[in-house]
Amino acid sequence: MANVPDELLYSKDHEWARVTGRRVRVGITAHAVDQLGDVTLVGYEKAAKVGASLAAGAVFGQVESVKTVSDLYAPVSGVVVALNDAAVDAPESLNAGPYDAWLIELELAEGASVEGLMNASAYSAYLGSL
């Protein structure tokens, strides 16, 4: 079973979310990295720039691996406050530590919440159902 840290929340698209107040830092899960194989490229959509608003479920970028290209989805609605350019410069950091290599940071939009995300036990159960 993939590593699923208790302190994070998870989406069905295999993004993790670390919530600190109204800030949500987002990355991809160990399960996603396992399914992708070695990540070789990380890229952001033009619309995903600091100050831009993203709706939950919006594509904010892509990860490319030796096997495939996969879209990255915003797990919550919010305003982009940071993009991790280090992940673009060193995409292999996602392979080595997917829970340390964040991709985007959002400030929750007015009225937005993290209620649609799963806790670690729910995400583990979800992985078991796949």
DSSP 7-56: T-EE-TTSEEEEEETTEEEEEE-HHHHHHH-SEEEEEE-TT--TT-EE-T
**CA distances from residue 6 to 27, 34, 54, 71, 119 in whole angstroms, order as listed:** 15, 19, 26, 25, 7
Q: Quick check: 14 and 28 in contact, CB under 8 A?
A: yes
Per-residue pLDDT tens digits for 100-126? 999 999 999 999 999 999 999 999 999
Beta-bridge partners for 80 = 106
Residue listed under structure tokens 């990380």: 42
26 domain-assigned: yes
At residue 1, does pLDDT exceed 80?
A: no
Q: So what's the pLDDT on residue 112?
A: 93
101 domain-assigned: yes
Q: So what's the pLDDT on residue 106?
A: 98
Q: So what's the pLDDT on residue 88?
A: 95
- The H or E element containing residue 2 is none
Domain that holds residue 95: 9-129
At residue 10, does pLDDT exceed 90?
A: yes
Q: So what's the pLDDT on residue 2?
A: 64
Q: Which of 32, 5, 27, 25 is nearest to 119 (CA)?
A: 5
107 domain-assigned: yes
Per-residue pLDDT tens digits for 39-89? 999 999 998 999 999 999 999 999 999 889 999 999 999 999 999 999 999
The tokens describing 26, both together, are: 């987002």
| Whole-number Å distance between alpha carbons of 126 and 124 | 5
69 domain-assigned: yes
2 domain-assigned: no
* Domain total of the chain: 1
Q: pTM of the prediction?
A: 0.94
75 domain-assigned: yes
